[in-house]
Amino acid sequence: MKCGMRVFVMLCGILSAPYALAISAPVSARTLYVSAGGSQTGNGTSARPFASLATVEQVSRPGDTIVVLATPLGVPALDGGIALKNGQKLIGDGAKVTASSGPVTVAARITNTTTANHGDAVVMADGASVSNLMIENARRSGVYINDVTDVTVSGNAISAANTSCTAGQGYAGERYSGRPMHGYGAIMADYSSRSASFAVNGNLIHDGTCMDGIHVRAGGKAVVSGRIDQNIVTRLQQGLGFVSVLGIALETKDSATLTVTSDGNTQTFIGNHLGGAPEADCEGLLGHQIGGELRWIISRNYFAHAMGGSSCNGAEFFITEGKANSTIAISDSLFLDSQGDMIQNINLGSGETSLTMDRVTIAYTHLAVEPNGPPESRGSNPAGDEAGRPRGHCVMLVSQGPGGVNRAKITDSAFSNCSGDGVFMYYAPFLQLPGASRELSLDIDRSTITTERGYGLRWANYGSVDLASVKVRNSFITGALDKAAIGLVQNPSGAKLKAGTFDFGTANRPGGNCIGLPGPGAVELVGIDATFIGNFWGANVGNQAKDSSGAPLADTISTGRAQIDTGAPLTTAPSTCGRRWQ
């Protein structure tokens, strides 16, 4: 090789020396071993493993695999935590730690009882993964994800995390309670600036007294997508001094976007335990926003046995302020046995929220404290004072922010045995803020809604709503003995509705609904006009009072300038009624 000019002599010499500037041979990824029973003179092989997480962290390189060898449970776990490097795999040796076939006696176990890495047992890095570890008694999180991408947390058993009871402050901070909201999650993820992805699957999170389960927060301009699948979260207790305890939680603020798909997760026995915090606010699933965009697709979720106060929920989706938007879809899921409302979708902001439920079963809500007073004091209140209403609705849909939108669609679902209403949707100004709700709409099809103490379906307006829409088809709805099956209520002393459609059947599209007559009336209307054409009102429909057109009112209560059309009633029970009236 020749160089014709002196200016290139040095460069030419460098390139001529067997291409010294060529890319160096890649360093091979290694497999390093560490064990709680290892020797201080170990070299990281399987025969002579390192004896501490600190040593293997220091020696390891990006891309390495770190294997934690299993030891009998009587041997103290590896302590001090570990911060992974990019592309590393942290793997627990031995049998699956999440196996349900019997007690685990030998396992790969780690912890962090120190303040290193803020007390987190595992700190993730870009492209890193952690699997099959038993992570116990971490001072803060079992696994912490902080603005890193392409991470996987799978098949771990995490218990008793956050022994320091560090507050994992929700984005609302202490604004509504004056107390810390909740503890750090066993698996905690924070994103503030970048595009990122994560996968959390097949983990067992259990027996914590100050920790949440899985908690993901996105703020700033972060754009985050993730999967949360096949995780079991069970027996979590609300920490003393905290306001809530969360099974799986997603939060957004600022202009962040968080998109999550979750399938096959379980949350059970979350809230109080014997001797635990009284009146726990437990959430199986929580979506909370003060800004940003949340998209959450939930399938095959199982929630059961809330253990707390009247604000325990199987799922709560809550915009507390700002122009946040949410799109929530729940399908093929079961929610059983809660102290409060089973599913809540609440919008106190000016953005839009949409909740879709398809093939969802809800059963058995009960009140921690029964309301006082006669039954009528627990019904709809035209004055808009909802403070005395019962909690324990199967589904509660709320819009309280000026300019906000709340849309819900329910199909092929069954709600029963709730101590409040089957479905309750309402608008009331939050803290008397001026402005109208832009939209309050509800669509129900092919569903069964029954309740023990409330209305089957209740829609109420206690403020100003620009657009309202309620459409119900091919559904069975009945209320309690002292309630109507359906209540449509507008406060006659100040509520305003610019445009509204309350469609339970029209001449062109008959309702095909079965509307029960267990109590004083099938329908209660206050200040709202509605059509109920082509429905079945029960076997004694012919004996009911009739309106001016001769159509049966089916014991309808109609006040406050309300009008109802119940034309073309069905005389034979459709299949919607099941065996109840056939």
Question: 272 in a domain, yes or no?
Answer: yes
* Burial per residue of 236-264, b for 16 or more beta-carbon CB atoms within 10 angstroms, e otherwise: bbbbeebbbbbbbbbbbbbebbbbbebbb
Full domain range(s) for residue 460: 80-577
What's the rounded Cα separation, in Å, for the pair 289 and 240?
A: 25
Find the mean pLDDT for residues 28-45: 94
308 in a domain, yes or no?
yes
Cα–Cα distance list, 495 to 461, 484, 487, 507 (Å): 6, 22, 16, 29
Q: Could you tell me the end-to-end alpha-carbon distance of the chain, in angstroms, rounded to an integer? A: 97
Q: Which residues of 291-312 are buried (b: 16+ CB within 10 A; e: fewer)?
A: bbbbbbbbbbbbbbbbbbbbbb
Q: Which of 76-80, 95-99, 261-265 has the lowest mean pLDDT?
A: 95-99
Considering the domain boundaries, does residue 71 fall inside one? no
How do the residues of the chain divide into helix, strand and coil, expressed in percent and rounded to 5? 5, 40, 50
Q: Could you give the CA distance from residue 302 to residue 297 in angstroms, rounded to a whole number?
A: 14
Which residues partner with 216 through β-bridges?
Answer: 189, 250
Percent of the chain whose predicted confidence (pLDDT) is above 70: 80
Token pair belonging to 282: 């437990």
Whether 18 is covered by a domain: the verdict is no
pLDDT (mean) for 201-206: 97
Least confident of 170-174, 186-190, 309-313, 392-396: 170-174
pLDDT digits (tens, 9 = 90+) for 402-456: 888 999 999 999 999 998 899 999 988 765 556 678 899 999 999 999 887 788 9
CB–CB of 566/554 below 8 Å? Answer: yes
The rounded distance, in Å, linking the Cα atoms of 580 and 582 is: 6
Lowest mean pLDDT among 69-73, 104-108, 523-527, 544-548: 544-548
Quick one: DSSP state of residue 53?
H
Sorted by sequence, the CB contacts under 8 Å of residue 508 that are 6+ apart come out as none
Exposure on the CB side of residue 34, measured as CA atoms within 13 A: 26
Give the contacts of 164 (CB within 8 A, at least 6 positions apart): 119, 139, 140, 210
Structural domain total, the chain: 1
Residues 553 and 569: their CA atoms lie apart, in Å, by: 10
Between 404 and 64, residue with greater pLDDT? 64
334 domain residue, yes or no: yes
Q: Which amino acid is at 272?
A: N
Q: What is the pLDDT of residues 285-306, one digit of tens each?
A: 999 999 999 999 999 999 999 8
Using alpha carbons, list the distances in angstroms from residue 160 to 2, 136, 185, 303, 474. Answer: 70, 6, 10, 21, 48
Can you give the pLDDT at residue 274? 47
| DSSP string across 316-327 | EEEE-SSS-EEE
As given in the structure block, the two tokens for residue 314 are 């199987």
Domain assignment present for residue 514? The answer is: yes
312: closest CA among 351, 366, 356, 380?
A: 366
Q: Which pTM value belongs to this model?
A: 0.89
Task: Sort 143 into a burial class: Cβ within 10 Å, 0-12 / 13-18 / 19+.
Answer: buried
pLDDT band for position 547 (50/70/90)?
Answer: very low
Tell me, yes or no, whether 13 lies in a domain: no
Torsion over CA: 324, 140, 56, 134 (sign): negative
Within its chain, how far is the Cα of 127 from the centroid? 26
Burial class (CB in 10 A: 0-12, 13-18, 19+), 221: middle
Kindly tell me if the per-residue pLDDT of 517 is higher than 90. Answer: no
- 55 inside domain: no
